[in-house]
Amino acid sequence: MPVEGILPVIPTPFRDGQFDRTSFERLLEHMLPHVDGYTLLGSTGEAPSMTTEQRQEIAEFALAATPSDKAVVVGVTHTSINDALAVARHAQEHGAAAVLCASPFYFANSSSGIRSYLMQLDRVLEVDLVFYDNPAATKTQIKIGDPIDWAEHVGSLKAVKLTDHDLTKVEAWQRAGLRVFGGDDPIAFRYIAAGVDGMMIIAPALCPEPFRRVWDHARAGDLGAAFGVFSTEIAPVLHVFGIGDEIATTKAIFGQRGLFESAELLPPLERVTPERERLLAIADDLVRVQSEKRRAAIPDAEAVS
């Protein structure tokens, strides 16, 4: 079954350098009633700072803890193709619905080199491959025609997560038979308005019920109603949680809410300052009050399940 819909990228909770399973379970309880699944061990999940063994431990626990009707996409991006293969094999053996892979990010990339990398990954995959178009992290600018060409050689390549802001890619890739996921929080609503097939960003993890309403309104063709919820119940948090430090700010918010026991990050990332924490708390309180007002004004029969 193809992966699509709301699949937020999620941070990985740690305590004393170890994966915090209890906090992770609380995050699932918070999100899963309103999303279609989630994306694990991507950039937001701090996967580049982990060993292959750590990634496999976290993926195995997460997949076992997630109901079968929710799709889990596991990040396998790695500078080593052999490690990417090991993580991919492990993920699909434990029930991943798809894997997410960006370009290798140390040596300079070429379109043919990325295609060769993905072709090796394709040989072990029985689930869908979502290519992660992430120019900021990989220093690789993907052209519109690249994924279309790669898909002719990589049978598992069925979707692209787009963090680039060139939204002309959405229609072009969809015409070529690829599903497209919006992948950058600062222009989240523009992706939705462009008609993407799903969203892989942080916002639905932070505000899952409001984001479900936004998504459902937009899919029904009512962008006005969608933006009404987005602008009051999601956007204020996105304004203060930052560009480039979203992992630290998201963990700070989850810590303030009591979802995470700690806002701990793996080196080289650092926690936000107390001043930033105060701003985050103000914005988070604001959006939650707005959500409560909206829910109180809507009859139960109209509430999103």
The model's pLDDT over 80-113, given as tens digits with 9 standing for 90+, comes to 999 999 999 999 999 999 999 999 999 999 999 9
pLDDT in tens, 47-89: 999 999 999 999 999 999 999 999 999 999 999 999 999 999 9
Residue 216 domain flag: yes
pLDDT over threshold 70, residue 16: yes
Residue 54 domain flag: yes
Q: Give the number of domains in the chain.
A: 1
pTM above 0.85, yes or no: yes
Domain with residue 31: its CATH number is: 3.20.20.70
Give residue 302's pLDDT. Answer: 52
Residue 243 domain flag: no
Question: Using an 8 Å Cβ cutoff, are 12 and 250 in contact?
Answer: no
Q: Given pLDDT bands bounded at 50, 70 and 90, which one contains residue 243?
A: confident
Give residue 75's pLDDT. Answer: 98
Residue type, 253: I
Residue 259 domain flag: no
Q: What is the mean pLDDT of residues 273-288?
A: 96
Contacts of 267 (CB under 8 A, 6+ apart): 49
Question: Using an 8 Å Cβ cutoff, are 250 and 202 in contact?
Answer: yes
pLDDT in tens, 110-131: 999 999 999 999 999 999 999 9
Helical ranges in 111-202 per DSSP H: 111-122, 135-138, 145-151, 168-175, 188-193
In degrees rounded to 5, what are phi and psi of residue 174? -65, -40
Give residue 299's pLDDT. Answer: 66
Give residue 93's pLDDT. Answer: 98
pLDDT over threshold 60, residue 301: no
Chain center to CA of 155: 23
User: What CA–CA distance (Å, rounded) separates 156 from 154?
Assistant: 6
Residue 290 domain flag: no
CA angle at 245 for the pair 137 and 136, rounded to the nearest 5°: 15
pLDDT over threshold 70, residue 159: yes
Q: The domain containing residue 215 runs over which residues?
A: 5-220
Residue 252 domain flag: no
